[in-house]
Structure 1
């Protein structure tokens, strides 16, 4: 488990605490609901700092997507209301839709609140999982580094997902009756490596963890095995490829004030995941 020096013996020798879950998901923030054609549905964005303890045995959560909404389940069947008469679960075009987490449920992202969910096609959701798998590999590397020896700092990642302002439907016309007008055209995923100096000589709690300062990672230590994202993915800046180009519009989810700039450290990145 994560280790800190939480006290000293009478001779001034440090005592390591090794039996606590310290650094999992902290500083999570979720945007408001997207409002399209006057209907609030689906998140605008979310961000959270993720730490190595998320990869401890037994730390993973489920948080299945259980939030419901008329646009998801049934649509609006009343004649003349100008809204979709079916929901995403019964898409007449036979696209398979997922209530996609912005912050993964296994990391602690909620599944009962649409502020952390957005409708994604199965292709888009699968591509998001590709990035999440890369982040999981990084968190596992953070934990291996932590457990190999006493470290004076934690390594983690600041993760952010922002939904596009533009809908999956043509936004140039009044298409309030079209189902796809209520789903984002794409999500943008950003990840930044961070390091947090461990406190010394004090107990630590989740509340304290939320207030500890961090720095961007300019260079990883030699003993740290940074996982490699496929070069084609990094070079493209967009998934799936070919056929998509980076967009220009995100919803009004402002990145947290302390979300760090991208560093050239072999890990930090951004990618758009388009509906397909």
Structure 2
């Protein structure tokens, strides 16, 4: 009897968490709770920076439905042990536990800069379409360049893999999910924002990076994505320095 109550309580807990990531849709929450709905793709990567005698591992969780980076976990050590010992194709939960263990070791290196650099590169490069399509070939070529830039080294080896999961599983593993703050709908009678009104951003690495990018821009144009056939290049095909034209309808 106690076992049945425990199972019911665990199921209810999973559904309660899942409801937060399915806009309160009970049917979707039940699917997520039972493992039959995935809204996150985990980009797993191990690397070694040979000329600096460092190696590391990262887990980047992309919410492919609402298109935001839910979390990034990185670990770097002052030897090549991570690259030589960790198997990239193991399940992400196993990797997460290994990373927690590495963080307690004496050879741990502060990876905060790498974590922020990786987040910024993902946003700048706009890897969401390729993560959604699970374009492993592109990601395996693009991410090593991000690591090279972060560590200032061209002597980098990297291996990437992808795995599907869902937001509920992240929470159950104790991972803090960075949910973007929802923007409030403007009042119909209000056509202009008050001069003193300041747009708030979530107090998270994603929000801070977005604020940093906007602070360096000459103009910040509010907009939204419209999924419709258009002419032009895919964003992934635009090269640095190339002049492009963007239509901004009134």
**Greater share of helix residues, 1 or 2?**
2
Q: Same fold (TM over 0.5)?
A: no
Normalising by structure 1, report the TM-score: 0.25
**Greater share of strand residues, 1 or 2?**
1
